[in-house]
């Protein structure tokens, strides 16, 4: 909070504006009638003292209020946050007749609290009051309150004085991960945007211990060598199974495209999915690294533990895309030069036919040392054109060409994705709505399969 300087702006009031118009209209009539001219002169002479006195009183009482703000420095996107303004008078008993309060909040937030009308009587009797209101942050990133503003009205409503105090507050708006922080269960159906859960007992890839066979265990888990040495009291063979746990200490690298390929809506969904999966990967004991290419060149080295998640949030919360060129090839080239151990690389962009030649040079190098997942968004507009709901409405040659072109474009994309999958890569094509759950499900299935 900072109140070192204040700014003042004198504004004519509505009453003065109306009287000025009436006086001008009376002057037009006085131009034609002498009797009206005398009235016009006397009215002007009589009004001037009232206008000057009203102005003098307003200036005398103008700087008698101060404000302080109390607001959290870290808030969550899409959730209301409470802000408090502490208003107090500077000691003098008299105040302007009308006081309107404005808080100069960031334009990325919304509220209906202003203008707020303050009662002079409460300030005179108590000396201070607390004004509370709610703000709804609509965008993530840094923000600044530029000040507070009082609009003071004079006694006769001839003048208004705008007093702005530099009450500065700064902070950050983070993406909303409240549900994840509550420990949401990882289960559900992926086609409905839900998350599956890996079965913990006996289904991982790292050997943990031997134990007795229990009903429901897979026959594949039976250790026949250990079972052959164990018999029950009745002489029958005692089955022993191998108990596995999820593999730990793996390394995940997220690479997100911040260029023209991912517009704002797609980029926000991708970043949210990336941060959600980072949280889950860190909870599973993996090390997480992150990178960005395109509008922002960013590299966050791999770290383990939940403290690493705070670092990811602080480095990625204000990341946005921009309409600039981006190269997945260069992003992977840069990642390979920084990675010193086998990693699960998740590259989020929007891949097209022209990426086939550039990526074909680097994919063999990746296959030898790493596992690569290419995440791409579905082309909803192209799918709508290629598969219209009512094909009988397509009549003109231009509509036929648009449908054929869209169909060919989608077919070439899917042919490219199948080619990459046959070469050993993993390709995930999804919509912005379901990218979080689809990506988490893919990560869990990779952990379960032991491909890393």
Residue 201 is assigned to a structural domain of this protein: no
Q: What is the pLDDT of residue 135?
A: 95
Residue 167: burial class (beta carbons within 10 Å; 0-12, 13-18, 19+): buried
Domain count for the chain, please give it. 3
Residue 198 is assigned to a structural domain of this protein: no
Residue 161 is assigned to a structural domain of this protein: yes
Q: What is the pLDDT of residue 356?
A: 85
**CA 304 – CA 95 distance, rounded (Å):** 59
What are the residues whose beta carbons fall under 8 Å from the beta carbon of 198, sequence distance 6 or more?
186, 204, 246, 444, 447, 448
**CA 164 – CA 167 distance, rounded (Å):** 9
pLDDT level of residue 383 (50, 70, 90 thresholds): low
Residue 116 is assigned to a structural domain of this protein: yes
Q: b/e map of 329-338 (b: 16 or more CB within 10 Å)?
A: bebbebbeee
CATH of the domain at 264: 3.40.50.410
Q: What is the pLDDT of residue 235?
A: 62
Torsion of CA 168, 169, 170, 173, to 10 degrees: -140
Q: Between helices 435-449 and 264-283, what is the axis angle to 10°?
A: 40
Residue 224 is assigned to a structural domain of this protein: yes
pLDDT level of residue 397 (50, 70, 90 thresholds): low
- Residue linked to tokens 């945007």: 193
Residue 75 is assigned to a structural domain of this protein: yes
> 109, 108, 117: which is closest to 87 by C-alpha?
117
Which of 132-146, 343-357, 438-452 has the highest mean predicted lDDT (pLDDT)?
Answer: 132-146
Q: 76 preceded by cis ω (within 30°)?
A: no
pLDDT level of residue 364 (50, 70, 90 thresholds): confident
Both tokens of 433, joined, read: 């709505």
Residue 193 is assigned to a structural domain of this protein: no
Residue 153 has pLDDT above 50, yes or no: yes
Same domain, 351 and 314: yes
Angle at 255 between CA 249 and CA 260, to 5 degrees: 170
What is the mean pLDDT of the segment spanning 172-198?
54
Helix, strand, coil tally for the chain in percent (to 5): 40, 30, 35
Angle at 313 between CA 308 and CA 318, to 5 degrees: 150
Residue 268 has pLDDT above 60, yes or no: yes
What is the mean pLDDT of the segment spanning 49-74?
91
Same domain, 213 and 333: no
Residue 11 structural domain: 1-174
Q: What is the pLDDT of residue 199?
A: 44
- Residue linked to tokens 């990133």: 141
On whether the pTM is more than 0.85, the answer is: no
Same domain, 79 and 60: yes
Same domain, 211 and 334: no
What are the residues whose beta carbons fall under 8 Å from the beta carbon of 312, sequence distance 6 or more?
275, 278, 288, 290, 300
- CB–CB of 213/181 below 8 Å? no
- Residue linked to tokens 């979080």: 436
| Separation in Å, CA 186 to CA 21, 179, 312 | 70, 12, 22
- CB–CB of 254/274 below 8 Å? yes
Residue 90 has pLDDT above 80, yes or no: no
Which of the residue ranges 33-42, 216-225, 251-260 would you say has the lowest mean pLDDT? 216-225
DSSP-assigned letter for residue 63: T
Average pLDDT for the chain: 82
Torsion of CA 182, 186, 187, 191, to 10 degrees: 100
């Amino acid at each position: 909070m900072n109140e070192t300087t204040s700014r003042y702006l004198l504004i004519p009031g509505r009453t003065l504006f109306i009287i000025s118009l009436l006086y001008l209209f009376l002057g037009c009539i006085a131009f034609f009638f002498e009797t009206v001219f005398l009235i016009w002169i006397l009215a002007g002479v009589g009004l001037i003292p009232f206008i000057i006195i009203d102005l003098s009183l307003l200036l005398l009482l103008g700087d008698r209020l101060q404000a302080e703000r109390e607001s959290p420095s870290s808030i969550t996107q899409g959730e209301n946050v409470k802000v408090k303004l502490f208003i107090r008078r500077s000691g003098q008993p008299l105040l302007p007749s009308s006081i309107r309060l404005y808080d100069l909040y960031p334009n990325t937030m919304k509220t209906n609290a202003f203008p707020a009308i303050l009662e002079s009587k409460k300030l005179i009797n108590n000396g201070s009051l607390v004004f509370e209101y709610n703000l709804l942050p609509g965008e993530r990133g840094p923000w600044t309150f530029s000040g507070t503003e009082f609009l003071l009205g004079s006694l006769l409503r001839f003048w208004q004085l705008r007093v702005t105090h530099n009450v500065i507050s700064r902070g950050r708006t983070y993406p909303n991960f409240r549900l994840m922080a509550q420990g949401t269960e990882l289960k559900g159906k992926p086609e409905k945007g839900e998350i599956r859960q890996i079965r913990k007992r006996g289904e991982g890839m790292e050997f943990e211990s031997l134990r007795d066979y229990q009903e429901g265990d897979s026959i594949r888990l039976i250790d026949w060598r250990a079972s052959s040495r164990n018999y029950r009291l009745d002489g029958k063979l005692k089955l022993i199974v191998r108990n596995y746990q999820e593999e730990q200490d793996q390394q995940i690298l997220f690479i997100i495209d911040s260029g023209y390929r991912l517009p704002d809506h797609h980029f926000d969904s991708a970043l949210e999915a990336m941060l959600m999966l980072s949280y889950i990967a860190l909870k599973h004991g993996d090390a997480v690294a992150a990178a960005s290419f395109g509008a922002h060149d960013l590299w966050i080295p791999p770290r383990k533990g939940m403290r690493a998640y705070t670092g990811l949030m602080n480095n990625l919360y204000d990341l946005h895309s921009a309409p600039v060129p981006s190269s997945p090839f260069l992003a992977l080239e840069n990642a390979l030069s920084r990675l010193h151990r086998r990693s699960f690389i998740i590259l989020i962009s929007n891949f097209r036919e022209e990426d086939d030649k550039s990526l074909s040079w680097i994919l063999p190098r990746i296959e030898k040392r790493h596992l690569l997942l290419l995440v791409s968004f579905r082309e909803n507009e192209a799918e709508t054109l290629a598969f219209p709901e009512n094909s009988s409405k397509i009549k003109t040659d231009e509509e036929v060409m648009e449908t054929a072109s869209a169909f060919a474009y989608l077919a070439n994309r899917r042919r490219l994705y199948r080619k990459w999958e046959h070469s050993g890569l993993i390709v995930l094509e999804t919509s912005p709505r379901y990218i979080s759950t689809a990506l988490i499900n893919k990560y869990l299935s990779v952990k379960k399969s032991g491909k890393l």
